[in-house]
Copies of this chain bind each other. A is one copy, B any other.
């Protein structure tokens, strides 16, 4: 193998595939990045067996010459060193040559690295996915949907299926749900009319995969194609493929958990509640259970308080836009609520309480594409 590549392009692509490589893998070949030079360009692959990323640098595009392939071939190089080395190379171009026994030379400016490569034949092949179950989304929308749900997945491996975000489709809508069984985050989006509406049910993508994917998503409306099979999902970008395994197991039916009645309704500023809970958490965080108490006052305000016998207590009143229904005293995990408030981009929220011992729902007031459900904590 022998090719010359534009350094900046190479750095960018190596960094992208490196996101999938884990130093803690038990499969030695996966500590490496696979490089394949073919007539049309150079393909790079990184994988930790849960996530795989493949990128392609074409020989030329839009009148820019990126790669000159002098001799086709392939190699696997230790990701940790290779990625750092490439970043620190001095020249505008990088020359990569593989000789006998996978001995690889990387040349740039007056610098020569000789690296011990690994056998590319040992590198696992990525699955060929069938395009039948495919749909597409704007990248910024997918990024929002991930940000607004993934924080609520379970961190515990006791119920593995809860460590992922569940995708369903219903009436032309895509519904993402995450829950750790104490709180639930749900985000909907309309699938574009005309798009071949996919039929999704019990598709659970690991939270970790979505967090990695999120870093590759842009903030604009360029689309990403999503292809789903029995065991894998693939996100297809121009020149980049992102694969993740799906989680096994039946995702719980969450629809019936969401209460329809309201005993106490409260409408107030997202930011004011967030800042107030942040202050109250300074004390309740210490007790490690993050318990915060909320009480409706007669005068259109709610009182937020938390107590730590060791440190002291904090009390604060917040003016609400509206309080309807019964008086209420309730306690909850304040950290769970602030996690949700941080991803609500709307200025105002409506909280729908159904009694001190029952789950309650937080929704933005200006659209119905999102809801957050929380269990109370028994203290009063």
Name A's B-contacting residues (CB within 8 A).
78, 81, 84-85, 88-90, 104, 110-116, 275-276, 278-279, 282-283, 286, 310-318
Contacts and interface: CB of A to CB of B under 8 A. Distances in A.
Contact of A85 (B81, B84, B279, B318): B279
A153 to B, nearest CB: 28
B113 A314 contact: yes
Contacts of A84: 282
A88 B314 contact: no
A287 to B, nearest CB: 12
Contacts of A278: 88
Contacts of A112: 314-316
A113 B78 CA distance: 54
A310 to B, nearest CB: 7
A90 B314 CA distance: 13
Contacts of A90: 275
Contacts of A283: 81
Contacts of A115: 311-312
18 contacts: A78-B311, A81-B282, A81-B311, A84-B282, A85-B314, A88-B275, A89-B279, A90-B275, A104-B312, A110-B316, A110-B318, A112-B316, A113-B313, A113-B314, A114-B315, A115-B311, A116-B310, A116-B312
Interface centre among A89, A111, A313 (most CB of B within 10 A): A111
Contacts of A276: 111
A282 B312 CA distance: 51
A49 B116 CA distance: 52
A146 to B, nearest CB: 29
A92 to B, nearest CB: 15
A90 B312 CA distance: 19
Nearest to A116: B312
List the 6 closest pairs (A to B, CB-CB), nearest first. Answer: A115-B312, A111-B316, A114-B312, A113-B314, A112-B315, A88-B279
Contact of A114 (B275, B314, B318): B314
A304 B258 CA distance: 67
A365 B207 CA distance: 55
A198 to B, nearest CB: 45
A99 to B, nearest CB: 12
A148 to B, nearest CB: 25
Nearest to A88: B279
B111 A314 contact: yes
A311 B116 contact: yes
A250 to B, nearest CB: 43
Nearest to A318: B110
Contacts of A81: 282-283, 286, 311-312
Interface centre among A88, A104, A276, A278 (most CB of B within 10 A): A88
Nearest to A314: B113
A189 B205 CA distance: 62
Contacts of A311: 78, 81, 115-116
Interface centre among A278, A283, A312 (most CB of B within 10 A): A312
A275 B91 CA distance: 12
A317 B108 CA distance: 12
Contacts of A78: 311
Contacts of A282: 81, 84-85, 88
Interface centre among A78, A104, A116, A278 (most CB of B within 10 A): A116
